[in-house]
Structure 1
Amino acid sequence: MIRTSSTGAGVLSRRGFLARSGLIGCSLAASPLLTPVSFAAAPWDTRLVVIILRGGMDAIDVVQPYGDPAYEDLRPRLLGGPQNGALDLDGYFSLHPALAPLMPLWRAEQLGFIHAVSTPYRNKRSHFDGQDLLEAGTPGLHQRRDGWLNRLLQVTPGVEARTAFAIGQGEMKLLQGTAPVSDWSPDAEITLSPQAERLAGLMMEQDPMFHTALTEALDLARAAGDYAGGQSDGEKKQDRGRKKPHQRIASYAAQQLRGDSRIAAFSINGWDTHNRQAGALSRALRRLSDTILTLKADLTADIWGKTAVVAMTEFGRTVRENGTGGTDHGTGGAMVLAGGAIRGGRVHGRWPSLDEAALYDRRDLMPTGDVRAHMGWIMRGMIGTDTQKIADVIFPGVQLGTDPGLLQG
């Protein structure tokens, strides 16, 4: 959606626009009226990318605790570790082989993980509720309609224009709220003849809000061309053929972060691995690896050096594999960190052990850390957000504890 004020007034939705105009037909009906946008500078110089891993990523198969004595018995068919092709990280944890392309980042201390973390969500293990809580940032799901990333913008002094993007076809609740945010879909494209533009303008001129929004969208479409920039029609088609949707999203995010934007958020699906996990998880991890490497490649070295990429999921999965070669909904999970700003080359967090007595409900990885607290400290270090505002407004009721040292000093 295009938001036209910092107070949340004047929100133009794609559906609302199309319903009121009814004139442009298929080219706009298939497009969300959203294209690359240039923004006024934000009052900080770092970049933050938040990726929601929808479906419940199995942390134990991604960052494998092969040094835990109970691991082998719990995962006989999903057993990882260096002896099974995984990549040793620190002598206790190994990395799923599908993330092998990221190992240079690990060695450069630009890739890290936080293990045994979760939101306050417990027991019901519903994707919908779990994702809502993850993006709302508070257990009171029915008390908040805005997202924690939007509340970060609300409490940051000096934000004069839109500095954040929600990217992709899916709804990003963590960026909903009164602070201005822009959305973009990788299929966004506006192509109108001069006559159609004139007709649209005439029909909208009695409604200033819609007229302004239409003019803005068309101007941006003309200025942008393609999110890769400066390409001919043939080059655009060739680029779309080479890049998969998640790579196109990452490229677009990088383009905006090279400019005045400071925050980007999007999601990657495919993490619900109830059966045949070996193949499904490998595919999802390759998409995550592609996404991180595309961000790095499309940012300048200087900007990558002050970027934090944070990937999080609504909950982890059971420590025991099930009878169909998969795992079921669990509790404790992991966060993935990348970028030059993060303190990588290590697995952060306090490992609770896989001994049955140490498990949550004797079935799940026991959470020893709160996703919100870790994110709060990243905000503090990247943007300078006041810790009281983090605990009172952004993540109401969170116990921040001490700084876990997730960022470069």
Structure 2
Amino acid sequence: MTLSRRKFLARSGLLGCSLAASPLITPMSFAAAPWDRRLVVIILRGGMDGLDVLRPYGDPGFAGLRPGLLQAKNADAAGGLDLDGFFAMHPALAPLMPLWQQQELGFVQAVSTPYRDRRSHFDGQDLLEAGTIGLGERRDGWLNRLLQVQTGVVARTAFAIGNGDLRLLQGAAPVSDWSPDADLALSPQAEQLATLMMQEDPLFSAALSEALALSRDAAAAAAAPAFGGQAVDMMADMAAGAMEMPRPAPGKPHVKLASFAAEQLRGDTRIASFSLNGWDTHNRQKASLKPALTRLSDCILTLKQELGETVWDKTAVVAMTEFGRTVRENGTGGTDHGTGGAMVLAGGAIRGGRVYGRWPGLEEAALYNRRDLMPTGDVREATAWIMRGLTATGQRDLETTVFPGLQMGQDPGFLR
């Protein structure tokens, strides 16, 4: 039987998720990127409880709505880390406190997508990633539509990272994909054979070269000490009396995602996106929310440490979720699907050290359907202003193409 190039790729796994890291349709290019600043979008799947992550202890009604979730000690800040005299950050985000103090961490409170009332994870996530109410009209994602209105975009400009599909990067614009399981594991002889088979086919030759390079990069990253050569610089900073940043443990799946994103963003990549699970806290929220927040903290710190100061200063990290949760705790020590929630912002490009958004209050008459935090802002509006500042995309393109039908209003000033 004659073994064709395509059959070889299929049998060796190269035509599956391993080569998904390389776009087979679009030639690779290492030309100058279309803009200089970086954007990382993290989807928090499951409905993050923004009222626990960012506790409005200054609202007189808050403690009475969640007596079981709040800890008795440090009651002045609802058991959290005081930020501004009104909001306190969940204790599990304590490793991020230095970023808040350096004004590289911020929050947007009382925001949501236009999704209402049905409280389905699937529908909520679809709308979050599509960025428009008309799901039947648009099956692409808003990050891909951002790329569609740019010039100079190539496949490596944006990376979708992880094992699952990221709809927000699906669409007509070229995008690269990478999975932490994408290890070709070819012997030197197999690599040589594959190279010989592909040499007369420029399309597959470029794809093979890119996949092999990504696989080697991933293997090297896994074998290297945490944060590579930056450990020396961090030790020097500590010796000089600089604030020590906590170090996430290497080898964890979520840390690998953030580490790969940082590696690409140090080069020509300008957008990276991945998702984190574990935010559906119906039961025992005290125990279940902590590990999810730890993973988010790990990812943000990994990005900061591995991007390096120069690139971090040009980076905005945006973490968003499909909906918030009820303001009242339920009978099993958790919270149910709600509406208004919070966004987490980080990065050297973010004007942090503040909580954005208009607080609606927790009186029963002020709640949405008398059960949820009332949204006073739209996650798409906040994201649109951040993308405008990072990429210089026109407001008309953002309101008509990226987020069809959105009214952006006044610039909240998220970026430095």
Q: TM-score interval w.r.t. the shorter chain?
A: 0.7 to 0.9
Q: State which of 31, 34, 37 in structure 2 corresponds to 1:43.
A: 34
CA distance in 2 between counterparts of 1:169 and 1:109 reads 33
CA distance in 1 between counterparts of 2:112 and 2:6 reads 40
CA distance in 2 between counterparts of 1:19 and 1:280 reads 46
Letter in 2 for 1:149: L
List alignment gaps of at least 5 residues for structure 1.
1-16
Alignment of 1:6-405 (within 5 A): 21-24=9-12, 32-34=18-20, 39-79=30-70, 82-197=76-191, 200=194, 209-210=203-204, 212-221=206-215, 224=217, 226=219, 228=221, 231=224, 242-405=250-413
How far off is 1:218 after superposition? 3.0
CA distance in 1 between counterparts of 2:153 and 2:16 reads 32
How far off is 1:72 after superposition? 1.3
CA distance in 2 between counterparts of 1:241 and 1:67 reads 35
How far off is 1:141 after superposition? 1.0
CA distance in 2 between counterparts of 1:216 and 1:305 reads 28
CA distance in 2 between counterparts of 1:119 and 1:88 reads 27
Letter in 2 for 1:251: S
8 Å contact kept, 1:23–1:200: no
* Equivalences, count: 384
8 Å contact kept, 1:40–1:161: no
8 Å contact kept, 1:39–1:163: no
8 Å contact kept, 2:38–2:271: yes
SS at match of 1:308: strand
8 Å contact kept, 1:41–1:261: no
Partner of 2:241: none
SS at match of 1:134: helix
Distance 1:312 1:39, change over 3 A: farther
Identity in percent? 67
8 Å contact kept, 1:228–1:255: no
Distance 1:185 1:344, change over 3 A: same
Map Cα deviations across residues 156-209 of structure 1 (whole Å, 9 max, x no partner).
Answer: 123245301111111111000111111111222112234434555677689775
Distance 1:31 1:155, change over 3 A: closer
Map Cα deviations across residues 210-261 of structure 1 (whole Å, 9 max, x no partner).
Answer: 4553344235545x363539959xx9xxxx9843111111111111111111
